[in-house]
Structure 1
Amino acid sequence: MANSANDQEARLAQMRIFVEELAGSSRRRRQEVAHKIATVAHADASMVTPFVGSLMDALERPEAQTRWEVLDALTALVDEHADEVAPAFEAAETALFDEDSAPVRLAGFVFLCRFGATSEERSDQVWPLLDEAIQCYHGDPEYRDMLVALLTFVQGAASAATKAALAGRLKFDAENGASYVKSFSAQIIQACE
């Protein structure tokens, strides 16, 4: 038991170092540690949870990779810590319409989908942004991953009104689309019922 507690403390100490390096002067190192933090967040969210405030601060870094990795880490925390990560909503909205980076846009979209899936109120809050993004990025390379995130979104606690609006938005693609667009759109509409 003591070894386990010592291991936990050592891992938290290492995570603290990574988080501190997110504020460092080296762009490359910020990107590297942001990737490590996202990887840890997906493996064990409890290791990242104490550092949510610092992660949100890192969403202001200029380099795209740091921002998308940090959004990915925050997304891993949403299911259990939606209230704590709620302040990242604005940064995710900004990321959603980043003109220079498709991975940043996708990370913002995925965060908003996961966040919106946690309650009916949040689904209604994120829906106008998701709707606009669906229209803006339809057919872009990241659109397939966006559809995957939308399926997760409607399988969560999305409101009936949001589900109806999403089904209406994807109806044309479900009936007339091709390939993954048609099949994912149909799956999402079915999940909305």
Structure 2
Amino acid sequence: MADLSLDVLVAALAGPSRRGRQEAAHEVALAAEEDPSALVPFAEQLMDGLQRPEAQTRWELLNALSLVAGVDADLVEGAMDDAEAALFDEGSSMVRLAGFRFIAREGKSAPERSAEAWALLDEAVQCYHGDPEFREMLAALLEFAQGNISDDVKRAVHDRVAFDAEKSSMPFIKSYSEQIVEACEA
């Protein structure tokens, strides 16, 4: 599928084949890594793809939409409800992580978006603390803390991770938490 145009790949996201949708979503995510702006014309179809039942299609598209949010957060704001549902998906840690990344990327784009995003991220940080995907969630939370977030949200993020920055016995949690605290104090 790597040689197919974005038009063909995006059309395959709505196709009848589970495997075809997964493969198309994977190629779309790779294309987003190369040039997220190339996916801007397809934002609606990518968001529609979040309604597919298979986890891989959803996580690949959420990862692609996270990158598109870095180009035009307004364009993909409509994916927030699906990202919230993904954040609490009980069947797939990859879907949860992709939802977290999207919400962090969307939320860091403007102070007025950061409070809504933080409410979801805060809940997820508490729910998934120590889970296998938590390291990557902390990386996304660091990016969020370094973004264009409100002062109130910066204080709340700081307060949430301050204990781990001081006391965590897990080196990666301590290190990321220290970086997040520094970003919130900057």
What band does the TM-score fall into relative to the shorter chain?
over 0.9
Counterparts of 1:9-158 in structure 2, within 5 Å, are 14-158=5-149
Partner of 1:181: 173
Q: Which amino acid aligns with 2:177?
A: S
Determine the C-alpha separation between the residues in 2 that align with 1:47 and 1:115.
18
Q: Check whether the contact 2:37–2:71 (CA below 8 A) recurs between aligned residues.
A: no
The runs of 5 or more residues in structure 2 that have no matched partner are none
Give, in angstroms, the shift of residue 125 of structure 1. Answer: 1.3
Give, in angstroms, the shift of residue 14 of structure 1. Answer: 1.1
Give the secondary-structure state (helix, strand or coil) at the position aligned to 1:48.
helix
Give, in angstroms, the shift of residue 172 of structure 1. Answer: 1.2
Give the secondary-structure state (helix, strand or coil) at the position aligned to 1:49.
helix
Q: Deviations over 1:17-64 (max 9, x none)?
A: 111111111111110110000110110123211111111110000000
Largest Rg, 1 or 2: 1
User: Percent identity over the alignment?
Assistant: 53
Determine the C-alpha separation between the residues in 2 that align with 1:149 and 1:49.
22
State the TM-score, normalized to the length of structure 1: 0.92
Give the secondary-structure state (helix, strand or coil) at the position aligned to 1:113.
helix
Q: Which amino acid aligns with 1:191?
A: A
Q: Deviations over 1:112-167 (max 9, x none)?
A: 00111101011111111000000000000000000100110011101111010111
Give the secondary-structure state (helix, strand or coil) at the position aligned to 1:25.
coil
Determine the C-alpha separation between the residues in 1 that align with 2:142 and 2:23.
30
Give, in angstroms, the shift of residue 72 of structure 1. Answer: 0.6
Give, in angstroms, the shift of residue 79 of structure 1. Answer: 1.7
Bigger CA drift: 43-52 or 143-152? 43-52
Q: Check whether the contact 2:86–2:98 (CA below 8 A) recurs between aligned residues.
A: yes
State the TM-score, normalized to the length of structure 2: 0.95
**Superposition misfits of 4+ residues, deviation over 2 angstroms:** none
Bigger CA drift: 86-95 or 169-178? 169-178
Q: Which amino acid aligns with 2:174?
A: K
Determine the C-alpha separation between the residues in 2 that align with 1:155 and 1:47.
25
Give the secondary-structure state (helix, strand or coil) at the position aligned to 1:59.
helix
Q: Which amino acid aligns with 2:34?
A: A
Determine the C-alpha separation between the residues in 2 that align with 1:158 and 1:48.
25
